[in-house]
Structure 1
């Protein structure tokens, strides 16, 4: 009779896909195949020890905090072309990896293991960088053209409301106060939508045509006004804002504003009806400053995550909520403009985690 557990382990051991398994919240390494050991430049003596103990450099670079968040939330984390320093003897070698921290859940929805798979994509990353520099201007021009087409379509709706309301009020001079107030409310909402669309256009144009002007942005002093601005646009949404330590950023202040407001607005728009929260916090790693936006909203279907940063793309479960489909694409463009990256993990009905990486140290600000 076939021992299925032994068969699975044999397949994993022989697999060229680097694989490891953690079996508790302390990130105990219960399994790692040879491909993963080679990638880590480690041997089998690490089995039975914790990830943080075996690889303090990975903990300092923020990977352990991602793993612990996956264990806590049960939301699988995917990332592509992420830099990491591999310790080999007395040297640190910078490599780039695609990896997945997959939360394995029990029948109650609780995490009981994390399956870690990874691929070294350093050569692909370096080749892509060379190609990206060559096509950067063409790409940004194309995105701007796409954005202009999208905005011309999206502006039609709020403008139609204004035109329709104006015609209605001109033809009906003796309206009740209640009906008139309802139309004025519609006018206000339409104007806000137009302002939002125009602001996004101007911001992307700034990305295309200007140099990266760095400022010291004190997030802890600015976050309150950004939250209040979003709340004014969504007065009926109830959500708790949980703020952790917020490191300052040495970055383009306009770009940071646009990124944070877009992500806060997404969390508010797609919040659940009861007990909604958005947790915003930051940490300093050896590679830079990481900001995390963690909510318990409606989430994004797993099959749609790979396309969610594309322009005009929205989750299929968000059709009942107004939006342009521009926000996350803009966030990605702005982060790349500043030399950073953005990763997003989500699970339907569990929420979304967005991780922003800014390549700088606290001393830069």
Structure 2
């Protein structure tokens, strides 16, 4: 190795941009710098032999599937705000990153090496999540006060009736069967009223939770559209932010699926160009269906990251995803509430 090559390698090793070079389809690591090690919480590169050695949980295993897809297809791939640790890493931190993958082919056109760079980015939910939390806390406090007043009033009457009924029955040791049955019914009806109030409160709480999740889902959808605005052909796209809330899926998982699907479709023809993707969303009786199409007419390749999309979709009961390479489409369906 020449002195110049040594200098370049050392510069790359010290770079803050996380970088690794893989030398096989099994993702054996030929080179890894301090930035990449630090991103995964390691200090010594001698501990690491293959990329999967870096991984600590299921979220990050999905990234290994994405790397394998790119290696096997031999085409460069770029994805922004990818959820490396969607549910939080070992410290509880949710990690998102921009990822660049560049396969280097040999003389036969097969991948011989692959360069992987990764730059941590801000959690895409953080900008609106704080505002949402604050506004929800204010609303929650107001509703709690309203519920407290209402419950205090509504519970007081049946509880008073039940209490008086029991006191009366205790004071009347000579009560005949007919009178005893009458007061037993009064107490029982009062307690049933209390039970109904409790059931109603539980049901309202469930509905509030569903509304909160629906709001987060709509926000996640807006975030993906905004983040990928340069890729989306608005004139050929059709979606309604309101009907998105009908989907039965957690917002971070929906974000991950929709974001990767758009960026995968955008690179279906082997390049990342402006306004290449159209998206449509249709609500039927049973499902919410998304169709993401590549509108370019260039040379086609397979959808990179489809394996990861399948793995994510499998986490959602009754959801499914299919790829239509002929029509350059990714179609995924989510169950509705």
Shorter-chain-normalised TM-score: which range? 0.3 to 0.5
TM-score between both structures, scaled by the size of structure 1: 0.44
Computing the radius of gyration over CA atoms, which structure comes out larger, 1 or 2?
A: 2
TM-score between both structures, scaled by the size of structure 2: 0.47
